[in-house]
Structure 1
């Protein structure tokens, strides 16, 4: 469905050029959920916004790469062509549902706007579809709810409305940018179950951007681990959780509280991410890695194919590095 190849995105600032995305490649298949995880500032949201065509140019610049959706390179399309895809074939759920909704418009107006713009249906038909979508996302009494404003809904219900807006044109690809970050754990569980139910009913492919590994464990099929603008490891859920190969992935998992290990202490990852104004030539995690070798600072490692779905960028996979591990 989607193929991202060697994507590079930078932003010009007064302090220099920030190299936010530095050669990202991945694929997404129909009906699959791909989770993109990593700490703040690693490039997750920039990747999502680039796919959606929402990078302002300038100050942003797509320096290299392709975003192929149904064999069309989205990076080469003009604004008019992108608008025919945005919200129709590809939709996005943004981080904060309150700022994603217009506080001065009723929910009904915001739901039917995209539908009437892209599909040219009557207002009656659009309202019927809006009621249907609110029911799908679990909002009771949808006919009356259409007449209300965003401030009359709770945080969890606003998030459901944002999901309904994203799905009303029946997209093939849904990008969810940290959709559960501001919600309590009970509402989080409801939203994740909603994603699962919608995917079963519609077959939509989902890119889930998050830093919450608990969310990932719940619904992801495959996981891409990002660090300093690069995908450093990617694999299915079992491979990443039970057989992580990159030291950064291992550090992420070790820093998550576990209820089955009462006496274990959390192990934070020491240090800070590299400066993306002048990113390192070698592995960006080398300065924080307990297994770093001299070559790690100078040369970026080649991608190692561990299984059909599991790849990792790490010098520890080189046969010559076994002496370091032993």
Structure 2
């Protein structure tokens, strides 16, 4: 995060809870998530599948089937959880844009690319069709699509996977929103295209100052693009810090576990890959204490019985783990 971005707070999420009713019971998908986002920064939300990352992201724009059960989402000081659907429709696309996981299922196969990109401009910016067309062509050019005039008349199936992802980025950014939410934007893309998409995010952020929330389980992507990282587990934030703090000075055993399960890029083949043992808890009946208790090598009795409080390591780094309590035994294995 640059010096200019440390001042302007765009988004505050405080104690957010989101649940889904099912025939078997209530799924507590998001359980007390809190974080903030500043202008021009990139915040990554990482964790295993099913940990609540996507539900958290979609809840910010009120795209989930049920509204938040409790908690607060404030955008530029305005509370979003109390806004009507009509009010949210004015905000989506104009103030906050979103890129979904699978671009092919997010694009309409029977409408030209040009029409789909123009739609947001015609809806929010009150442009003429000719003005919207010129703006859409410039946006396609910005995201690196060659011959944009010709491409505007084509359909999504005529684009490769990487090009379709660029189209989604163009559609999300065409109205120049302050916040871009990218849900697994590099999934199913080969490593070369992944690198191009990451570079594109960085270039667009430099040019527009947009703040980015990236949802992913790919720590390689996170290491390249994130200013700050939230590590999620079982619907909760386990640890939050700058990219350096989470990678090099992490305090939560779950963060340690997911880092150990990723191949190293320093060429040290003597370091084995160690997967996190076990499976995440059932969120229809979540644990009373620490949700990582059953999978943690350092679990104590208190971890099973009482949810860990937040411990602030410094102004940017905090963790929910009983190991940070002054009464807990010293754990020297972390970071080794």
TM normalised by structure 2 equals: 0.95
User: In the aligned structure 1, how far is the partner of 2:306 from the partner of 2:332?
Assistant: 19
SS at match of 1:321: coil
Question: Which runs of structure 1 show a deviation greater than 4 angstroms over 4 or more consecutive aligned residues?
Answer: 323-326
What does residue range 67-82 of structure 1 map to in structure 2 within 5 Å?
A: 67-82=73-88
**Aligned residue number for residue 230 of structure 1:** 236
Are the structure 2 counterparts of residues 113 and 230 from structure 1 closer, same or farther at C-alpha, using a change threshold of 3 Å? same
SS at match of 2:64: coil
**Aligned residue number for residue 139 of structure 1:** 145
**Aligned residue number for residue 252 of structure 1:** 258
**Aligned residue number for residue 164 of structure 1:** 170
**Aligned residue number for residue 291 of structure 1:** 298
User: In the aligned structure 2, how far is the partner of 1:265 from the partner of 1:323?
Assistant: 24
User: In the aligned structure 2, how far is the partner of 1:250 from the partner of 1:231?
Assistant: 15
The answer as to whether partners of 2:59 and 2:67 remain within 8 angstroms in 1 is no
Which runs of no fewer than 5 residues in structure 2 stay unpaired? Answer: 1-9
- Tell me the alpha carbon deviations over residues 216-254 of structure 1, each in whole angstroms, 9 at most, x when there is no partner: 000100000000000010000000001111000000000
Aligned residues: 323
1:61 CA drift (Å): 4.2
Are residues 1:195 and 2:204 paired? Answer: no
**Aligned residue number for residue 215 of structure 2:** 209
Are the structure 2 counterparts of residues 7 and 242 from structure 1 closer, same or farther at C-alpha, using a change threshold of 3 Å? same
User: In the aligned structure 2, how far is the partner of 1:63 from the partner of 1:30?
Assistant: 27
User: In the aligned structure 1, how far is the partner of 2:239 from the partner of 2:94?
Assistant: 31
User: In the aligned structure 1, how far is the partner of 2:331 from the partner of 2:194?
Assistant: 42
Are residues 1:52 and 2:61 paired? Answer: yes
1:322 CA drift (Å): 2.1
User: In the aligned structure 1, how far is the partner of 2:203 from the partner of 2:299?
Assistant: 43
Residue among 21, 33, 39 paired with 1:24: 33
**Aligned residue number for residue 276 of structure 1:** 283
SS at match of 2:329: helix
- Tell me the alpha carbon deviations over residues 93-134 of structure 1, each in whole angstroms, 9 at most, x when there is no partner: 000010110000000000001110111100000000000000
SS at match of 1:23: strand
**Aligned residue number for residue 176 of structure 1:** 182
TM normalised by structure 1 equals: 0.98
User: In the aligned structure 1, how far is the partner of 2:330 from the partner of 2:54?
Assistant: 38
User: In the aligned structure 2, how far is the partner of 1:284 from the partner of 1:290?
Assistant: 13
The answer as to whether partners of 2:67 and 2:81 remain within 8 angstroms in 1 is no
Are residues 1:114 and 2:111 paired? Answer: no
**Aligned residue number for residue 33 of structure 1:** 42
**Aligned residue number for residue 317 of structure 2:** 310
The answer as to whether partners of 1:11 and 1:61 remain within 8 angstroms in 2 is no
The answer as to whether partners of 2:252 and 2:321 remain within 8 angstroms in 1 is yes
1:263 CA drift (Å): 1.7
